[in-house]
Structure 1
Amino acid sequence: MKRLMQLGAFLLAIGMALPALAMGLEEAKQKLETVKQQGLVGETPTGYLEVVRAEGDAPAVVQAINSARRDEYARIAERHDIPVTQVETVAGKKAIEKTPAGQFVQVNGQWVKK
């Protein structure tokens, strides 16, 4: 019985913590530029963000933004009847080109400050 109560308390704690861990897209958009400028997040050739240094909100921002990007890339691919990987590659190239000096981009699998 004691084990069951402990398990119940654990599950309740996890259930309460999950919403706090999830970040909405609007909040992620607001924080994106900051985490990029801090060198915590960078653009990749695959069209997605990746965490450079897992500090603060960086992982949650990456997860929220990448989820939205994934959905948008799929819509574009379907609309133009092309593979989603082609959309990802074009988006990644554009994102890296638009990245300002001083922020991180991934080149040949390595993080480089642009």
Structure 2
Amino acid sequence: MYTTIYIYRVKRENVESFLDINEKASEIYLANGALEDNTYLADDISGDHGCSGLVDLIDIKDNEVVLFGQTVFRNKSHCEAVMKLVNDDEEINKLFNDMTEIIDLSKVVTASFIKAVN
């Protein structure tokens, strides 16, 4: 398995718009072959059991909430094939432009991971 994650800081007043955009984008990802595409609202980012929390790593303003996006693929080559189709989609480009109006992309954290343990 292969997954791409995104950690978003979204102003509270933009959360509904953000979720609407992500829901539409998710449909495009899934229609083009992604196995899963989910968005999660942070519940507890303070850390536990002696571990640092996300709040210790990312400067989160009082008027922001944290959301986590995850897209799952079979493997890296599957991800690349799906993303080529997604990036060629006219609607995804419109949604991307809409997204840039409500979040600061330079503050989005993204990473990709390969499944390490079965």
TM-score relative to the length of structure 2: 0.29
Question: Which of the two has greater helix per residue?
Answer: 1
Larger radius of gyration: 1
